[in-house]
Amino acid sequence: MSDQLTEPPSPDQGLVAEGIARFVPPGFPAEALRPSFATVGQVRASEALPDGWHVHPSWSRSSDAFEAYISIESDTSLYGTGEVAGRLLRNGTVTEVWAKQPFRIEADGTVVPNYDDRSPSLYQAHPWVLVVRADGTAFGVIGDTTHRLTIDLRQGITLRSSVPFAVLIIEGDSPQHVLSRLGDLTGTMELPPVWSLGYQQSRFSYYPDERVRELARELRSRRIPCDVIWIDIHYMDAYKVFTFDSERFPDPKATNRFLHDHGFRSVWILDPAVKAEPGYSVYDDGVQGGHFVRDHEGQEYRAATWPGDAAFPDYTRPATRTWWKDRSVEFLDNEMDGLWIDLNEPSPILPPGSEVPETVQHEGGGGIPAGSHARYHNVYGMLMAQATHEAMKEARPDRRPFVLTRSNYLGGQRFAATWTGDNVASWDHLKWSVPMVLNLGLSGQPFSGPDIGGFAGLPSPELFAHWIGVGAFFPFSRTHTSLKESQEPWSFGPQVEAIARASLGRRYKLLPYLYTVFREAASSGLPVMRPVFFADPTDLRLRSEDRAFLLGDDLLVLPQLSKEEAHDFCLPKGRWRPVTLPGEDLDASPAHPALRIREGSIIPVGPGGQTADEAMTGPLTLLVSLDREGHAGGTVYEDGGDGYGYQGGDYLLTRYSAEVTEGRLVISIEAEEGARSRPEREVRVEWITDPE
């Protein structure tokens, strides 16, 4: 039973910026509900709501919860809610915004990391709903709290938490407009280094160091395009963070230099838990600096993780984030190229499914109040990502950072990319990977992808072929699997190896286009991988299509995500012409998604290659698909591929246009921006026409 809160509305609520409003429950001053971890800075209502503002939450309170309710009209579609399994359309679902590592325990006692479409929460916390009305206009809703929050979308939108919270509403004339304003409010990702857009090979784990070298040689000898090899926890001394096993990895700097010499980058993992072992310098420093969280009795909290009994850094403390940053900078002296942070929900290992108690205490500081883990659990991963991101920027001031995190919070795209956690080698998990990445993009995180092939279990050759076929088009493209399995592209025989090589070859040819879309995402907050309804938000037929997807605005990807012969896709109106990438020679395998190009567009394609650097140089091919009036346009973005020269103007943004004149296709540069010199190269043109 709940009671409506009918007191006069707080004077602290109102318009934050054009199209963005903040609401607080009656009787609770806005300052009492700060700080916001989602927004860039602390937003404040600057003026009263304008006449005609339609979306208002109504507030109620029960004995154990506060609720904000927002009604919706018929034919309204709901999306977002972050990292969730199941379908793209979120109408009728209930999501618990609580970062959690899910497990399944088999009848024989085997513990398997797992989730399904009934999972109310996964590794990330995004208290956000994107609402698209029948006419294509949209608004977004943020439940601005770090506490556990329920998003109930069964009848309208109900946000429920045990503590009072603010609500932010973003109005827009389209879902794209709303996401762009979300980027203004919560920040956008930094433009990543171009190598991070290449294919990446990982396993739990590749060890010892000679195995890493062997893998690098094998990838190159087999001509599998690949940019990154990942190093999981077995490089550590007894799984102690910031250490190296003297037998398995006696010289990590030499390992990284070997990879660099062969055209690879490396990403190494860090876990937050610190082994509670006196004499271990990281633990001793943590104790001396007061860097670990404490239980409700004031004692150091410990839990069982990979190294055994371990303590957890209190990232709410500025001094602790600095300590973690300094340790990471020292670690990076071994010349790794990126950092991977895991188990940062945070998650103990034993017993399976256990969590850090909500009564654990955080000290805070620097504008973050002291509080319980109930308050800071959801932002633990984001605060760790922030400190790790700062470490990379300090250690490599002339290079763009790359951090991958398992847990994050709304706005955490400013600090790290993400993957979708420990999935399973099953057709269901392949099918869910597409709407999961789409909804992460619709929640402000453009740079994400699943473990290609599935982390737990061994996929059949057919399943792996289909997964790497579509995985080549995810924003983040990485194969990763457990200790028991092997999922190198050649592990499933020569036929699957050929499919993998061809699939990754398609990605590398598309890197000039993909990098251009990433630049748009970093600038505007729009997703890289987009739902089909973005092609026409007024077309209700498209609202539930979650197998096909768009890369940018102009390339439509049609994958087969199940064993059926073919999918019955719901496609946008207009001409979406089938397209073959220059020089590709695909077999007839259904593992290769069909590609279609939007009429009126120009897509840049490169020569491909074994690395992203190769793929971004050499001849450029413009794929031209004219509209009904005989015109087309498209953009190509180029810069150094790494570093920050582009911020000072060292980039080239070219707008090409095409039209038919006297029966000839004429390409011209419509506009250009930036101070970077145009490279000397051959520019080819392929005119994509309707199939006969």
Do residues 15 and 50 lie in contact, with contact meaning Cβ atoms separated by under 8 Å?
A: yes
Q: How many CA atoms lie within 13 A of 541 on its CB side?
A: 9
Q: What is the pLDDT of residue 485?
A: 83
Secondary structure class of 139 (helix, strand, coil):
strand
Q: Is the pLDDT of residue 291 over 90?
A: yes
Phi, psi torsion values for 223, nearest 5 degrees? 60, 45
Residue type, 138: A
Categorize the per-residue pLDDT at 632 as very low, low, confident or very high, splitting at 50, 70 and 90: very high
pLDDT, mean over the chain: 95
Secondary structure class of 665 (helix, strand, coil):
strand
Give the helix, strand, coil percentages of the chain, each rounded to 5.
Answer: 25, 25, 50
Do residues 334 and 256 lie in contact, with contact meaning Cβ atoms separated by under 8 Å?
A: yes
Catalytic residues, by residue number, are: 342, 345, 422
β-pairing, 371-372 vs 448-449, is: unpaired
Phi, psi torsion values for 606, nearest 5 degrees? -100, -175
Q: What is the pLDDT of residue 28?
A: 85
Q: What is the pLDDT of residue 587?
A: 86
Do residues 228 and 206 lie in contact, with contact meaning Cβ atoms separated by under 8 Å?
A: no
Q: Which runs of E-coded beta strand occur in 265-341?
A: 265-270, 274-275, 302-305, 308-311, 338-341
Q: What's this model's pTM, rounded to 2 decimal places? A: 0.97
Helices and strands counted in the chain (H then E): 12, 39
Phi, psi torsion values for 370, nearest 5 degrees? -60, 145
**C-alpha torsion 207→208→209→210, nearest 10:** -110
* Distance from chain centroid for Cα 401: 15
For residues 491-497, average pLDDT: 97
For residues 231-250, average pLDDT: 98
For residues 597-604, average pLDDT: 98
Separation CA 323–CA 275 (nearest Å): 16
Q: What is the pLDDT of residue 692?
A: 75
Token pair 């020269």 in the structure block, residue: 645
Separation CA 508–CA 477 (nearest Å): 11
